[in-house]
Amino acid sequence: MKTIDICRGEYASKWSLTDWYEESEQLLREALDSGEDFDTGWFGCRKEIRYARICREDGQITVEVSSHMDDLFDGDDLIYDALWEVSESEEELPDDIIDSIRETALDCGIDDSADETETLPDTATFEEISELIGKLEVITEAQVNDGYRRLCEIVKAHVEYMKTPEYQNMKGEHNED
């Protein structure tokens, strides 16, 4: 299978995965017109953390789309974004609360990415492929946004818990050690 690099540098598109750079669009159109099997590899869009991949093989075109938010499990930026969203606070959260938020998010199945794949017949046009990418982009973005909303709820519950006498007493006992 032929790999085609439709990226202009790191990105093949600008504002969304279907807002193609002219050169990227032309390379994809040429690959489609060739009738040969191909794989674009994963390509991204400049504005959002979204990626797509297009493969033609065995009489079908497979379109994959992946949307991401900031990494929930590596660094605290996303948790602090959620904290600002729920309380407009920039207070520092204790490590035990950060760890508990991450654990709760994992237990609830919250992920910091979403992936969707669909296939089209190998006769699909550039326009049909772009339309499918756009549809999958909307679906995956909604899934990621739902995860973020759920994370905000978890952060809010933890912030409320930090205000309880139970938590204050527990922290006081740890500070006495």
The pLDDT, as a whole number, for residue 169 is 86
At residue 111 the predicted structure's pLDDT band, cuts being 50, 70 and 90, is confident
Percent of the chain having pLDDT more than 90? 44
144 contacts 114 by C-beta, under 8 angstroms: yes
What's the CA gap between 154 and 22, in Å, rounded?
A: 43
What's the CA gap between 14 and 45, in Å, rounded?
A: 5
Mean pLDDT of the chain: 87
Low-confidence winner among 76-80, 117-121, 145-149 (lowest mean pLDDT): 76-80
What's the CA gap between 56 and 4, in Å, rounded?
A: 11
* Other beta carbons less than 10 A from residue 165's beta carbon: 8
The values of phi and psi at residue 59, to 5°, are 75, 15
154 contacts 148 by C-beta, under 8 angstroms: no
At residue 8 the predicted structure's pLDDT band, cuts being 50, 70 and 90, is low
Owning domain of residue 68: 2-176
pLDDT higher at 41 or 90: 41
At residue 23 the predicted structure's pLDDT band, cuts being 50, 70 and 90, is very high
Which pLDDT tens digit goes with each residue over 122-141? 999 999 999 999 999 999 99
Number of domains forming the structure of the chain:
1
Host H or E run for residue 155: helix 126-162
Q: Where are the alpha helices (DSSP H) in the chain?
A: 22-34, 77-87, 95-107, 126-162, 165-176
Q: Is the model's pLDDT at 162 over the cut of 70? A: yes
